[in-house]
């Protein structure tokens, strides 16, 4: 499997889209996501993608263009053959756009049900399939998301919450300090945040801390080989980090790192199993 990252070229999308990337695999994929507290998107240029719905106990086919909401558990997906998929890594600011109603989304949803009409999504897919270079793909994706996202107003209150959570301070962030900064009580903060995102502030902070740590370990594996990065990401000690990692992902850090896709902190590849 090959993963190729390519950036958005529009500054006006810089706070909404972290990066685009392409996943190519000549063989079937069995993968799951590590909770990251943010929405993600996928656009299939070749192949089909099935998603596991635990409440039904079955895998079901997803639309070619799909948005995945932030969830408390990693989702599992699989393909049945060669795959070419463009993925979108959104920043949490997507939650702040009025009118998207992202908190009401409980599972993967087609772009046509959240961003634009079916006709516009069909055009997006045709345009992307007609190009082979990622530079061209970036232009097409940028134009689409500018059209769909930049016309929406943002929620200033929620934007400030995300700014506080995602700033680079190494000290652990407490819900109480966010509430004090905003001049509201903790219950009001929790209610408004969950209504907007589908997550509690505590869950979101936990996911963000874990992702920051995994990014640091991936970036400098020789330095952080024993997970020393956890000591600078809001954890009391390595034991605290290990327990938190197991609670969120179901894996120890060592096992998690062995299954993560190269340079990706939120995508696990599972050993091949018989269907």
pLDDT of residue 252: 85
pLDDT one-digit tens code per residue, 23-79: 999 999 998 888 877 788 999 999 999 999 888 899 999 999 999 877 666 788 999
pLDDT one-digit tens code per residue, 145-185: 999 887 666 777 888 888 887 775 555 678 888 888 888 89
pLDDT of residue 146: 93
Domain-wise residue ranges, the chain:
2-153, 156-259
**Fold annotation for 156-259:** Arc Repressor Mutant, subunit A (1.10.10)
Q: What SS3 state is found at 208?
A: helix
What is d(CA 43, CA 85) in angstroms, rounded to the nearest whole number? 6
pLDDT of residue 219 exceeding 80, the answer is no
Confidence of residue 229 (pLDDT cuts 50, 70, 90): low
Could you tell me the two tokens for 186?
């903790």
pLDDT of residue 275: 43
Alpha helices in the chain (DSSP H): 118-129, 134-149, 156-166, 175-182, 186-197, 201-219, 238-249, 253-259
Report how far apart, in Å, the C-alpha atoms of 107 and of each of 54, 97, 161, 252 are: 11, 19, 24, 26
Other Cβ atoms less than 10 A from the Cβ of 205: the count is 21
Angle, to 10 degrees, between the axis of helix 186-197 and the axis of helix 175-182?
100
| 196 contact partners, CB below 8 Å, separation of at least 6 | 95, 96, 102, 103, 155, 158
Mind giving me the DSSP string for 54-120? TTTTEEEEPPSEEEE---SS--EEEESS-EEEEEEEE-GGGGGBTT--GGG--S-EEGGGTTS-HHH
Q: Which is more confidently placed, 195 or 22?
A: 22
2-153 is a CATH 2.60.120.10 domain: yes
Q: Which is more confidently placed, 263 or 155?
A: 155
């Amino acid at each position: 499997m090959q993963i190729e990252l390519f950036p958005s070229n529009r500054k006006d999308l810089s706070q909404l889209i972290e990066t685009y990337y392409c996943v190519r695999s000549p063989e079937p994929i069995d993968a799951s996501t590590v909770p990251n507290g943010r929405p993600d998107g996928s656009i299939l240029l070749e192949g089909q993608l099935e998603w596991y719905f635990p409440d039904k106990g079955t895998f079901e086919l997803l639309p070619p263009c799909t948005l995945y909401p932030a969830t408390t558990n990693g989702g599992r997906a699989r393909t049945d053959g060669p795959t070419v998929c463009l993925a979108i890594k959104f920043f949490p600011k997507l939650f702040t756009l009025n009118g998207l109603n992202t908190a009401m989304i409980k599972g993967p949803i087609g772009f046509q049900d959240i961003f634009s009409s079916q006709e516009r999504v069909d055009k997006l897919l045709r345009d992307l399939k007609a190009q082979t270079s990622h530079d061209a793909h970036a232009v097409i994706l940028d134009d689409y998301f500018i059209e769909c996202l930049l016309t929406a107003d943002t929620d200033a209150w929620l934007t400030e919450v995300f700014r506080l959570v995602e700033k680079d301070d190494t000290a652990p962030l407490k819900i109480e300090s966010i509430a004090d900064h905003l001049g509201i009580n903790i219950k009001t903060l929790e209610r408004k945040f969950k209504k907007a995102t589908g997550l509690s502030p505590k869950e979101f902070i936990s996911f963000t801390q874990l992702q920051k740590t995994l990014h640091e370990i991936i970036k400098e594996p020789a330095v952080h080989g024993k997970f020393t990065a956890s000591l600078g990401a809001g954890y009391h000690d390595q034991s605290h980090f290990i327990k938190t990692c197991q609670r969120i992902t179901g894996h120890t850090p060592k096992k998690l790192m062995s299954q993560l896709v190269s340079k990706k902190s939120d995508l696990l590849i599972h050993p091949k199993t018989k269907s």
